[in-house]
Amino acid sequence: MIQPSRLFSSGLKAGHLLGTTGSARSPVTALEYDEVFYQLGDAGGPSPIPTLLIAVFDDSGSVTGRGGNDPLSKRYAEAKHAFQVVAGRGSPRELGAVLHFDSPCRGDVAPAALTRRGMAALRQGLRFPTDAVGSSSLEPSLRQATQLAEGHPEHATTLVVLSDFLLLDADPAQVLSDLVTFPGDIHAVVMGSQVPDGVLAGDITVTKISHDSRPGAVAEALFSSLVTHRPGSSAAASVEDS
């Protein structure tokens, strides 16, 4: 279980902006719970090795606000679809977890098996948390993700951060440096914003989701990381990676 005593508080902080922010979060959130269906490729068979995928969601105003980088919150519906496709042919040795920039919050989900039964827990995190304030700080959830990875040393871990990376951490450069040293694979799904070259450095896989991306691009990006270790799998290649 995620231990609240080991979590770090988060909130909006002034200054140190990496980019610009959007407006406050839109109160229209009904579409967070929509069902969506996309052809994502072949999920293959269960991984022969233990795996852990940690998805971290940015719910800040620059993402969810009116005119933001995901104003209708379709990223949650798409992420849920990607998880469900894999869980339909999943295994108890494959785990998924969900964190939010507002960690600790009610939307955080400890590692659960990527199976139909495990999806019941994961779905609780695939929505805007009821107690979120819309933090733009990555550090609290990154620390929590690192704790989860270190607590599962036998698992091949992948961290997927879905954010516009307009960070309001006290020291964004240090946080991004810490991201590079995460004990596992790192996949940055950049929502809408144009992150300057060199900001996401190292061995980080970057997928850019723009306003021109077709529906399903977020699901495809997450799916590609979910099936990395699954034999016989093939992910759609319609999103822009760099």
Phi-psi region of 19 (alpha: psi -120 to 50; beta: other; left: phi over 0): left
Within a domain: residue 3? Answer: no
Within a domain: residue 10? Answer: no
Distance in angstroms (rounded) separating the CA atoms of residues 96 and 98: 7
Q: What is the pLDDT of residues 46-61, one digit of tens each?
A: 999 999 999 999 999 8
Q: What is the pLDDT of residue 235?
A: 80
When mean pLDDT is compared across 140-144, 159-163, 195-199, the lowest value belongs to: 195-199
Query: Between 193 and 17, where is the model more confident?
Result: 193
SS3 percent helix, strand, coil of the chain, rounded to 5, is 25, 20, 55
Q: What is the pLDDT of residue 67?
A: 75
Distance in angstroms (rounded) separating the CA atoms of residues 9 and 50: 30
**In Å, what is the CA distance from 204 to each residue of 9, 76, 179, 191?**
26, 22, 9, 15
Burial profile 54-91: b = 16 or more Cβ within 10 angstroms, e = fewer: bbbbbbbbbbbbeebbbbbbbbbbbbbbbbbbbbebbb
Averaged pLDDT of the chain: 84
When mean pLDDT is compared across 10-24, 25-39, 176-190, the lowest value belongs to: 10-24
Q: How many CB atoms sit inside 10 A of residue 239's CB?
A: 21
Within a domain: residue 155? Answer: yes
Within a domain: residue 185? Answer: yes
Q: How many CB atoms sit inside 10 A of residue 21's CB?
A: 20
Within a domain: residue 95? Answer: yes
Q: Residue 172: in which H helix or E strand, if any?
A: helix 172-180
Structural domain span for residue 166 = 53-237
When mean pLDDT is compared across 3-12, 32-41, 45-54, 139-148, the lowest value belongs to: 3-12
Within a domain: residue 27? Answer: no
Within a domain: residue 115? Answer: yes
When mean pLDDT is compared across 67-71, 75-79, 156-160, 172-176, the lowest value belongs to: 67-71
Within a domain: residue 23? Answer: no
List the CATH number of the domain containing 93: 3.40.50.410
- Count of structural domains within the chain: 1
Q: What is the pLDDT of residue 127?
A: 94
Q: What is the pLDDT of residue 27?
A: 33
Nearest one of 46, 47, 92, 100 to 73, comparing CA atoms: 100
Q: What is the pLDDT of residue 57?
A: 97
Q: What is the pLDDT of residue 164?
A: 93
